[in-house]
Structure 1
Amino acid sequence: MNYNVSEKYNCVIIELKGNVMGGPDAEIFRDELHKLIEKGKKKVVVDLGKVKFMNSSGLGILIGGLTTMKNADGELVICQADKKIESLLMVTQLIKVFDHYRTLEEAIAHFDK
């Protein structure tokens, strides 16, 4: 898993790329979120638009990220999941846990409420 971190309109965008399959990536993602929290950045969008594959451990990374942000009084939303990842979220019922948006712009707009 590769990723880019950027800021736009008062929120942080973490763009994941490639295969999201857990392992050492889970620790890297968690550490990145803790760095953001330390800087007071608590509005996070995880962009899944360039993720090719995600397994259950990859879902665990997202769940861990959601929990980390909630525990810090922050928020994490996801966007641009392709049909395969969206169906994985539906089968696992995680579609009800995450705020999911079709586009990055919609996800960013979520924080303008």
Structure 2
Amino acid sequence: MRFIAVLRAAEDYGFPPPELAEGIAALGAEAVRSGVLVDTGGLLPVATATRVAVCAGTLTVGEGPREDALPLGAYAVYDVTTRDEVVRWTKRFMDLHRRTWPGWEGESEIRQVFGPES
């Protein structure tokens, strides 16, 4: 089963501390060696986003952030056998933030991917 974990956090925290970047790199390498990490990446600031939406039958294109949600900051795609497995990996990722970046707050949302490879 494939899952995507997306990180949502305010962008006013600045750059992550080096200890966090090193921890994320190590966790990612471990997940790749374990054969569960398919893809991962950080995202540019939400100010660079383009939104394409349909609302009330009208197609619109807009720039910048949605006002009603924390911006997406990163994502990871996992190929695992159970939802619990992706929850464990995501908890480790979020715990790195908690331990190495005092005051930082954010959340990860985990969603199962459906399609030919899921």
TM-score calculated relative to the size of structure 2: 0.31
Higher normalized contact order (CA 8 Å, seq sep 6+, divided by chain length): 2
> Considering only CA atoms, is the larger Rg found in Structure 1 or Structure 2?
2
Greater helix fraction, Structure 1 or Structure 2: 1
TM-score calculated relative to the size of structure 1: 0.32
